[in-house]
Amino acid sequence: MKHGGWVLIVTFMFLLTVFVSGERFFSPSFNACIAKHQTQEGSSTSEEHPSGLSRTIDAYVVCSGEFIDAVNGSITAVATLVIAAFTFTLWRATTAQFELARDAFIADKRAFVFASGVQGFYEPDVATGHFNWRVAPHWKNGGDTHTRNLQFYSDGFLTNVLIPSTFDFHQITGMPPGTGMLGPEMSATAGMAPQPGTPALTPQDILDIQSGRKYFYLWGWARYNDTLPGTSRYITRYCWRILSTGNPLTFNPLVDPNGVRFINIYEANGNCADDECRTQGLG
């Protein structure tokens, strides 16, 4: 038997027990009726009532009927309350199921933008004959719908010390956030550091990064909406320490355009998405 059938049987037996106990222990009229029938049956012949069990059952049936007839208004009121409680419970369960289905649909279809990697961009230095560098995050929309009101921000800095745990990820320096749009499963680079208008990383900077004498950090965020109704604005943040391979002093894009590469390592702070960012105070 299925689980629902057992629940129905147990519920029925429980209600029957409550009913019998109620009329037996809390109804003087029911007990008087039972006593009356027992007296009447005791004076009857055995041919009329051949079984003591059947006499008891008959008395309970008759007296229960009289009890129900006497308290039918109360029973109707209780039944109405039970039906109302059941309806409310069913409504809550249906509402919860709808919300779960809606959340699952949004999680499956919403746009989800995240920084997936880093890319280097070189620019010639006429004075030295070498190439200087800027790096940019590679963004991807892993969702099934496109973004709306998308904003990107990227920044970075070269330093002699590790990034402090108190670093302010809310600051905006230099260029303001940019706008864009990412379709479903679409990827693009957006924003770079050092930001245009400031000095790029020199070959010596890259050598210092490779030797551990200096540290270069790239960080930023994306804020956006999706196309689904009733959803909130999303945010994804990243913070990476950037490492490099290759010799920047001998780099020649005509010979080996991939001769210098950049690698991103996630930092302990500044990496989050949506509710996680809000919980960390980075929403």
Closest CA to 19 of 84, 85, 63: 63
Alpha carbon distance 145, 102 (integer Å): 16
Burial group, residue 283, by CB count within 10 angstroms (0-12, 13-18, 19+) = middle
Quote the pLDDT of residue 76. Answer: 73
Quote the pLDDT of residue 105. Answer: 53
Quote the pLDDT of residue 12. Answer: 62
Quote the pLDDT of residue 83. Answer: 77
The amino acid present at 202, given as its one-letter code, is T
Alpha carbon distance 34, 272 (integer Å): 74
Residues of the chain with pLDDT under 70: 1-8, 10-12, 15-16, 18-27, 29-31, 34-61, 64-67, 69-71, 73-75, 77-79, 81-82, 85-86, 88-108
Quote the pLDDT of residue 94. Answer: 61
Alpha carbon distance 150, 145 (integer Å): 13
Quote the pLDDT of residue 146. Answer: 94
**Domain residue ranges in the chain:** 3-108, 111-279
Residue with tokens 């008087």: 32
CA angle 106, 107, 109 (to 5 degrees): 60
- What is the model's pTM? 0.66
